[in-house]
C-alpha cells in the first residue's frame, strides 16, 4: 500500500464537515462513518470519490469516501478517525458514485462491493492513480558518429544501436524495443559507452505513432444510410436505439460512421463486446479505419495494463474504449456514445457476486451522462425487442446483407427413421461432400465438447457421474479423462465398471472431439479443425486455428458456441446444426430464446462473402411450430411470437422477476431457509408480488452444494423492490450463519 499523499495546501481548508461516510470492500450493506482528523482537514480538501486509509476491526483497509457530513447518527466518541488520504483528486467522479449507489439499490448488493468493483484492482489495493514510468532510449551524438562495424562481435548492441539510429527522432519506446526484439542489457552497455542515453517517461499510449493503412469506407446501402442518419440525430442527448440487423448487414459499418462523427467533435466512445476473444478483432477493425487512440479493457490484461487503460480513458487520451462487461465503469472525460455489440449475449450479466447486467447499467449511465446508447444484434434479446416494439427504443432494422452477400437459406433435415453416422444423416453428409467438392468450407455446430457426454456399463447399466454434482461425467478421450463440466473436477478414464467389474464400458452420444475424429475418417483429404474450449486453451490457439482456416480452400470446422460469436469465415458456405432440438423441451422459459439466438448466429457464419450459403438444421421435430417459424420466417416473427407467450404467462419482460438463491452442503438447509424467508416475506410485505417456490434448482447439487431458489415476480418494479428490501434485511440477519450462502439475483438470466 502506498503512503498517504503528502502534499500540503497553503491555505487552511477546514470546513464544517467533520465526518466521512466511507465505502469499504466488505459484504455489508452500509457505509461506515469516520471522523475526519483536524490535521487532515487542515491540509487537504476532502471530496467524495477520494480513497482513504481507515481502521476496520483489527485491520487497515482502503475505503472510498462517498459522502461528507456535518453530522453522524452514531455516538461521535465511538467513531474511529481516518488514517490517511490516498488521492489528490477523486478516483471516482460524482456521476459514477451515483451510478454505483443506484446499482447497489437496484441489485440489492452491498454498496462497498459495488464501488470497489468499479475500480481497477491496483486502485482497490491502494496504488497511486498514476501512469507507470517507462524507459525510452535515444542515440547520442557520439552514437551517431560511431562506426557500427566495431560492434560486429556484440550482435545485440549492434542491433540496438542500429535501431536507435534509425529511430533517431522519436527514440525507442519499450513497445518498439519488444517489437524489434532489442535487449535492455544491450542498451545499458551502450549507455555506459555514451552511445545512447535513456529517459524515464510517463507511460502513455498516445505517444506511440500508429502507422496503419487506413481503409477506404464503403458506400452505405440505403438501410445503413437511414440508420446512420437517425442515430446522428440522436447524438447530444439521452436515448436508446436498437440496431436490429441480420448477420452481415453491416452494423459495424454503421458504428464506424457514427464514431467518426463523434471523434470529430472530440468525444469519447465506449464500445462494449461480450467476450475477450472479440476484443482484438474489433480493435483491428476499428484501427484500420479510425484515426485515434483506442484502448482495450478486459480481464485477460495484467492489473497494470488495466490501470493504464483506465487512466488513459479517465484523462480523455483514449478516445475509443473497447471492453467487456466491467468496462461500463470506465471513467471518461467527454463520453459521447455507448455502443453495446451483440446486446443479447448472456455474458453481459455477471453470474456471481455483484450480479449486474452490463447492458442495463450502460443504459442508466447514458441517461446520467445525457448521451445516446446503441444496442446492436442480429438476434436482439426479448427485453430489447419489447422496448423497441413499445417505442421506448428507436428500432432501426437492417434486413439486407451488406455488399454482395445474401442471407443463407435454412433447411430442416428430418432425422426420424434415418440411419445416422454418429449423428449425421446421409443427406447432411452428401451436402457436405458437395460443398467440399466446390472447394468451399463446412461449419459443423454441436454445443457439446469432449468425446461423449456419457460413459455406461453394458452389463449393469452403471453411468459415470460426478461425486459433487447431479451430473454425468463427460468422456475426454485425448486427455484420457472423465470431466465434470459443471464443477470442473476430473478423474482418470475408467476401463472397468466400479459396480460389477465388467470391462464392457461404452460411450453414449457425441461431443465435438468425437465428431472431429469421425469427420477425419469420412473426409480423409480435408483438414478438420475443432474450435471449443478444449482446443483453444493456449493463448494463441484460436488465432492459429483461424489462420489455418483462411489458408485452406476446403476445410471442415467443428465447434461449440465459440463459433457463433462474431467470426468471419468468408469461404464457409454450408453450416450444419447437429441438434436443433436442444432448447425445445427445457424447463427454463428462456431456453427457446437462447436456442434461436444460437442457431441464427451460427447460421449467420454461412455465405458472408460473395458465395451464397446454406444451413441444415438436423431435427427430430421438423413440424414443431417454433422450428418451422424460425426456418421459414426468421428471427423477428419467431421472437415476437415468443414475446406474446411470455405476456400470456406473465413472464419477463412483462413482469419483473428476482430470484433469491441459497446453497448449502446440507441437503435440506437451503430449502428450509428459503421456506422461512417466504413465511417472513408473507408477513412483512403487503406489496402485490407473486412468490414461487422455494424449489430445487434444475441441477440440485453442484460442486457439493445443494441449491434452492425462491422466485419473486411483480407487475410493478417498485413492489418487487419493496419485497427485496425486506428480503435483504432478513438475509443480513442470517449473515452469521456461514453454512448457507445466499444471493439476490435481480432480472436473473439463469434459473
The annotation status of 235 as a binding-site residue, yes or no, is no
Is residue 600 within 8 A of residue 608, CB to CB? The reply is no
- Out of 397, 468, 568, 624, which residue is the one contacting Zn ion (CB under 5 A)? 468
Q: Which of 283, 487, 522, 725 binds Zn ion (CB under 5 A)?
A: 487
* Cβ pair 407, 245 in contact under 8 A: no
Contact positions vs ligand ADP (CB under 6 A) = 218-221, 224, 245, 247-253, 402-403
Binding residue (CB under 5 A) for Zn ion from 460, 463, 715, 735? 460
For the chain, the farthest-separated pair of C-alpha atoms sits apart, in whole angstroms, at 90
502 contacts which partner out of Zn ion, ligand ADP, none, CB within 5 to 8 A by kind? Zn ion
171 binds, among ligand ADP, Zn ion, none (CB under 5 to 8 A by kind): none
- Residue 100 annotated as part of some ligand binding site: no
Compare residues 356 and 569 and give the one whose CB is closer to ligand ADP. Answer: 569
Question: Which residues are CB-neighbours of 370 under 8 A, at least 6 positions away?
Answer: 237, 238
Instruction: Provide the grid cell at 320.
Output: 475509443
CA–CA separation, 543 vs 560, rounded Å?
A: 16
Considering the complex, what minimum distance in angstroms separates the CB of residue 725 from ligand ADP?
42
Spatial distance between the Cα atoms of 364 and 307, rounded to a whole number of angstroms: 24
**In DSSP terms, which residues pair with 61 in a beta bridge?**
54
How far is 444 from 456, CA to CA, in rounded Å?
26
Ligand-binding site membership of 484 (annotated) = yes
| Residues 6 or more apart whose Cβ sits within 8 Å of residue 59 | none
Residue 5 · residue 86 · CB < 8 Å: yes
Helix, strand, or coil here: 138? Answer: strand
Q: Is 631 annotated as a binding residue?
A: no
| Grid coordinates belonging to 403 | 455488399
Nearer to ligand ADP by Cβ, of 63 and 250: the residue is: 250
When asked if residue 500 is in the footprint of Zn ion (CB under 5 A), the reply is yes
H or E segment at 174? helix 174-179
Residue found under cell 437492417: 398
Measured from the CB atom, is 471 or 609 closer to ligand ADP?
609
**Length of the chain measured in residues:** 751
* Identity of the residue, 110 or 566, whose beta carbon is nearer to ligand ADP in the bound complex: 566
Q: Are 378 and 604 a contacting pair, CB within 8 Å?
A: yes
Work out whether 462 is an interface residue with Zn ion (CB under 5 A): yes
Angle in degrees, CA 156, 161, 164, rounded to 5: 125
Binding region for Zn ion (CB under 5 A) out of 107-115, 148-156, 466-474, 632-640? 466-474
Instruction: For the sheet with 335-341, list strands across it.
Output: 294-297, 320-323, 268-272, 335-341, 372-377, 239-245, 394-398
Question: d(Cα 137, Cα 198) in Å, to the nearest integer?
Answer: 4
- Strand (E) or helix (H) holding 384: helix 382-389
Partner that binds at residue 449, options ligand ADP, Zn ion, none, CB closer than 5 to 8 Å by kind = none
Question: Judged by CB, which is closer to ligand ADP: 395, or 462?
Answer: 395
| Comparison of 15 and 491: residue with beta carbon closer to Zn ion | 491
- Could you say which of Zn ion, ligand ADP, none residue 462 binds, taking C-beta under 5 to 8 angstroms by partner kind? Zn ion
Contact call for residue 499 and Zn ion (CB under 5 A): yes
| Contacts of 390 by beta carbon, 8 Å cutoff, 6+ apart | none
Q: How far is the CB of 398 from ligand ADP (least distance, A)?
A: 7
Least Å from the CB of residue 499 to Zn ion? 4
Choosing among ligand ADP, Zn ion, none, which partner's interface includes residue 224 (Cβ < 5 to 8 Å by kind)?
A: ligand ADP
* Full 3-state SS string of 394-408: EEEEECCCCCCCCCC
Residue 293 and residue 268: Cα distance in Å, rounded? 10
Does residue 464 interact with Zn ion by CB under 5 A?
no
- The interface partner of residue 56, options being Zn ion, ligand ADP, none and the CB cut-off 5 to 8 Å by kind, is none
CB-CB neighbours of 551 under 10 Å:
9
496 is a site residue for Zn ion (CB under 5 A): no
| Annotated binding-site residue? 240 | no
- CA-nearest of 465, 444, 448 to 456 is 465
3-state secondary structure of 718: helix
Residue 357 CB, shortest distance to Zn ion, in Å, is: 27
Single out the segment in contact with Zn ion by CB under 5 A; choices: 213-221, 417-425, 465-473, 706-714.
465-473
H helix intervals, 487-624: 512-522, 541-551, 591-603
Q: Which residues contact 127 (CB under 8 A, 6 or more apart)?
A: 2, 307
Residue 11: CB atoms within 10 A of its CB come to 8
Residue 249: contacted member of Zn ion, ligand ADP, none (CB under 5 to 8 Å, by partner type): ligand ADP
Indicate which of ligand ADP, Zn ion, none lies near residue 466 (CB less than 5 to 8 Å, by partner kind): Zn ion
Q: Using DSSP, state whether 228 is helix, strand or coil.
A: helix
Check binding of 699 to Zn ion (CB under 5 A).
no
> In the complex with ligand ADP, which residue's Cβ is closer, 127 or 253?
253
48 or 323: CB nearest ligand ADP: 323
- x/- binding map, residues 419-458, to Zn ion, per CB under 5 A? --------------------------------------x-
- From the list Zn ion, ligand ADP, none, partner contacted by residue 402 (C-beta under 5 to 8 A by kind): ligand ADP
Is 500 marked as a binding-site residue? yes
Closest approach of Cβ 417 to ligand ADP, in Å?
38
376 touches Zn ion (CB under 5 A): no
Residue 457 contacts which entry, Zn ion, ligand ADP, none (Cβ below 5-8 A, type-dependent)? Zn ion
Q: Does 502 bind Zn ion (CB under 5 A)?
A: yes
In the complex, what is the shortest distance from the CB of residue 443 to ligand ADP, in angstroms, rounded to a whole number? 16
**Does 459 interact with Zn ion (rule: CB under 5 A)?**
yes
Q: How far is the CB of 294 from ligand ADP (least distance, A)?
A: 17
Interacting residues toward Zn ion by CB under 5 A: 457, 459-460, 462, 466, 468-469, 484, 486-487, 497, 499-500, 502
Amino acid at each position: 500500500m502506498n503512503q498517504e499523499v503528502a502534499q500540503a495546501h497553503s491555505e487552511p481548508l477546514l470546513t464544517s464537515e467533520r465526518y466521512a461516510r466511507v465505502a469499504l470492500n466488505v459484504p455489508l450493506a452500509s457505509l461506515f462513518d469516520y471522523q475526519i482528523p483536524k490535521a487532515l482537514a487542515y491540509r487537504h480538501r476532502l471530496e467524495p470519490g477520494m480513497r482513504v486509509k481507515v481502521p476496520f476491526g483489527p485491520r487497515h483497509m482502503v475505503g472510498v469516501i462517498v459522502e461528507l457530513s456535518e453530522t453522524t447518527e452514531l455516538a461521535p466518541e465511538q467513531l474511529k478517525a481516518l488514517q490517511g488520504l490516498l488521492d489528490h483528486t477523486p478516483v471516482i467522479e460524482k456521476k459514477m458514485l451515483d451510478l454505483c449507489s443506484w446499482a447497489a439499490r437496484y441489485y440489492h448488493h452491498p454498496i462497498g462491493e459495488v464501488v470497489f468493483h468499479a475500480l481497477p484492482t491496483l486502485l482497490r489495493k491502494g496504488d497511486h492513480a498514476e501512469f507507470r514510468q517507462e524507459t525510452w532510449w535515444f542515440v547520442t551524438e557520439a552514437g551517431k558518429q560511431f562506426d557500427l562495424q566495431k560492434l560486429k562481435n556484440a550482435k545485440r548492441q549492434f542491433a540496438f544501436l542500429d535501431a536507435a539510429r534509425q529511430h533517431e527522432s522519436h527514440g525507442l519506446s519499450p513497445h518498439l524495443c519488444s517489437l524489434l526484439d532489442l535487449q535492455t542489457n544491450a542498451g545499458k552497455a551502450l549507455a555506459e559507452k555514451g552511445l545512447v542515453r535513456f529517459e524515464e517517461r510517463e507511460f502513455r499510449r498516445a505517444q506511440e505513432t500508429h502507422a496503419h493503412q487506413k481503409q477506404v469506407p464503403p458506400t452505405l446501402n440505403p438501410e445503413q444510410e437511414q440508420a446512420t442518419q437517425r442515430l446522428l440525430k440522436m447524438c447530444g442527448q439521452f436515448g436508446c436505439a436498437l440496431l436490429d440487423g441480420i448477420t452481415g448487414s453491416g452494423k459495424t459499418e454503421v458504428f464506424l460512421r457514427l464514431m467518426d462523427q463523434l471523434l470529430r467533435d472530440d468525444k469519447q466512445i465506449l464500445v462494449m463486446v461480450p467476450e475477450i476473444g472479440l476484443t482484438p478483432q474489433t480493435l483491428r477493425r476499428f484501427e484500420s479505419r479510425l484515426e485515434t487512440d483506442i484502448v482495450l479493457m478486459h480481464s485477460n490484461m495484467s492489473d497494470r495494463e488495466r490501470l493504464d487503460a483506465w487512466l488513459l480513458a479517465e484523462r480523455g487520451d483514449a478516445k475509443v474504449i473497447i471492453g467487456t462487461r466491467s468496462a461500463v465503469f470506465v471513467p471518461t472525460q467527454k463520453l459521447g456514445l455507448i455502443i453495446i455489440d451483440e446486446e443479447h449475449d448472456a455474458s453481459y450479466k455477471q453470474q456471481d457476486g455483484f450480479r449486474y447486467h452490463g447492458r442495463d447499467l450502460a443504459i442508466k449511465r447514458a441517461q446520467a451522462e445525457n448521451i445516446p446508447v446503441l444496442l446492436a444484434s442480429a438476434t436482439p434479446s426479448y427485453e430489447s425487442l419489447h422496448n423497441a416494439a413499445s417505442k421506448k427504443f428507436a428500432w432501426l432494422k437492417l434486413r439486407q446483407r451488406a455488399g454482395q452477400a445474401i442471407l443463407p437459406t435454412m433447411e430442416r433435415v428430418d432425422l426420424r427413421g434415418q440411419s445416422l453416422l454418429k449423428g449425421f444423416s446421409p443427406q447432411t453428409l452428401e451436402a457436405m461432400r458437395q460443398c467440399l467438392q466446390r472447394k468451399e468450407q463446412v461449419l459443423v455446430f454441436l454445443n457439446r465438447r469432449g468425446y461423449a457426454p456419457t460413459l455406461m456399463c453394458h452389463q449393469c447399466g452403471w453411468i459415470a457421474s460426478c461425486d459433487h454434482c447431479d451430473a454425468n461425467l463427460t468422456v475426454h478421450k485425448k486427455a484420457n479423462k472423465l470431466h465434470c463440466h459443471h464443477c470442473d473436477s476430473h478423474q482418470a478414464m475408467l476401463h472397468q465398471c466400479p459396480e460389477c467389474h465388467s470391462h464392457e464400458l461404452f460411450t453414449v452420444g457425441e461431443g465435438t472431439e468425437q465428431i472431429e475424429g469421425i469427420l477425419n475418417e469420412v473426409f480423409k483429404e480435408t483438414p478438420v479443425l475443432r474450435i471449443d474450449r478444449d482446443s483453444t486453451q493456449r493463448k494463441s490457439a484460436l488465432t492459429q486455428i483461424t489462420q489455418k482456416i483462411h489458408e485452406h480452400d476446403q476445410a471442415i470446422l467443428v465447434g461449440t458456441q465459440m463459433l457463433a460469436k462474431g467470426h468471419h469465415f468468408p469461404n464457409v458456405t454450408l453450416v450444419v446444426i447437429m441438434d436443433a432440438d436442444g432448447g425445445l423441451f427445457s424447463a427454463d422459459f428462456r431456453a427457446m430464446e437462447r436456442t434461436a439466438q444460437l442457431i441464427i448466429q451460427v447460421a449467420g457464419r454461412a455465405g458472408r462473402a460473395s458465395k451464397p450459403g446454406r444451413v441444415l438444421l438436423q431435427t427430430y421435430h421438423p413440424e414443431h411450430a417454433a422450428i418451422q417459424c424460425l426456418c421459414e420466417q426468421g428471427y423477428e416473427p419467431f421472437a415476437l411470437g415468443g414475446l406474446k407467450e411470455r405476456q400470456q404467462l406473465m413472464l419477463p419482460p412483462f413482469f419483473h422477476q428476482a430470484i433469491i438463491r441459497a446453497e448449502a452442503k446440507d441437503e435440506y438447509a437451503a430449502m428450509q431457509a428459503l421456506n422461512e424467508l417466504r413465511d417472513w416475506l408473507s408477513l412483512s410485505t403487503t406489496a402485490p408480488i407473486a412468490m414461487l417456490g422455494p424449489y430445487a434448482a434444475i441441477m440440485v447439487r453442484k460442486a457439493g452444494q445443494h441449491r434452492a431458489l425462491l422466485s419473486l415476480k411483480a407487475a410493478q418494479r417498485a413492489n418487487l423492490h419493496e419485497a427485496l428490501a425486506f428480503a435483504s434485511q432478513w438475509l443480513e440477519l442470517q449473515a452469521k450463519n456461514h453454512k448457507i450462502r445466499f444471493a439476490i439475483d435481480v432480472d436473473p438470466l439463469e434459473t
